[in-house]
Amino acid sequence: MDKKDLEYIRLKKGFICDMDGVLYHGNRLLDGVKEFYEWLVSNGKQFLFLTNSSERSPKELKQKLARMELEVDEKHFYTSALATAHFLRSQCPGGSVYVIGEAGLINALYDAGFTMNNVNPDYVVMGESRTINYEMIERATLLVRSGAKLIGTNPDLTAPTEAGIIPATRSLISPIEMASGRSAYFLGKPNPLMMRIGMSKLGTKPEDTCIIGDRMDTDIIAGIESEIDTILVLSGVTTRRQIENYPYRPRFILESVGDIALL
């Protein structure tokens, strides 16, 4: 990328930034992230770390980054779990759910007024889970076949970790979809709801905002469909060669977010 393009990016007022594969892999902070964060703060930029992961709450994400020696205020985080809870509350206030997921998702649903129900819930909700088993899949399938609506917190097939690429929500929910004959509705990127909430929190207009991510099928398409500039970083799951597999392109391609701070 040439200097002119970097200068254009740096003039943006608002930055929506993915986390996994952009800021860190697992529990390892990526090179250049500290410099990028310091640049955001010192230049008075509006920014939101917006993740399709539903495992952790904003408070836990703040603590996760603090363990990697990056201190970020809790207000700068937004997750697919929060977007899911926001959506379901608007659709079925005071409803009930059967959840397969971690604490971040369960707590977001509790906070939105939902109760847990494994008999006749309004919704079956699936997020990332490291404790999923056949009994959970069986129960979820039977509930969906009995009339519960199937919700996924995000459509990610895979996620990056220190050890490599692992299954994510779309992979985990697919047995329930196939066995029930029902398709899930996904709330995370590229669902426009996430982007509208992001820009609302930033207080910026589309022309003043950009999204930084490592996935063509969520981050980049979300930006394109929301008419904001897109920046693909090659520090996560997408390689330069894989970009050619898609019928759309990011506006900019960087090796990492640190490139923005190094002009």
Helix (H, G, I), strand (E, B) or coil at 6: helix
Measure the CA–CA gap between 198 and 75, rounded to whole angstroms. 12
Residue with tokens 């959840």: 99
Residue 18 annotated among the catalytic residues of the structure: yes
Helix (H, G, I), strand (E, B) or coil at 228: coil
Residue 20 annotated among the catalytic residues of the structure: yes
Q: Sort residue 65 into left (φ over 0), alpha (ψ -120 to 50) or beta.
A: alpha
CA dihedral sign of residues 245, 251, 256, 257: negative
At residue 86, what are phi and psi to the nearest 5 degrees?
-60, -45
Contact 163, 26 (CB under 8 A): yes
For the purposes of burial, counting CB atoms within 10 Å of the CB of 81, is it exposed (0-12), middle (13-18) or buried (19 or more)? buried
Q: Which of 5, 20, 111, 208 is catalytic?
A: 20
261 token code pair: 């701070």
186 token code pair: 């996904």
For residue 152, list its beta bridge partners.
Answer: 126, 186
Q: Which of 2, 5, 18, 156 is catalytic?
A: 18
DSSP 136: H
Report DSSP letters for 184-227, one per residue.
Answer: PEE-STTSHHHHHHHHHHHT--GGGEEEEES-IIIIIHHHHHTT
Residues that are catalytic: 18, 20
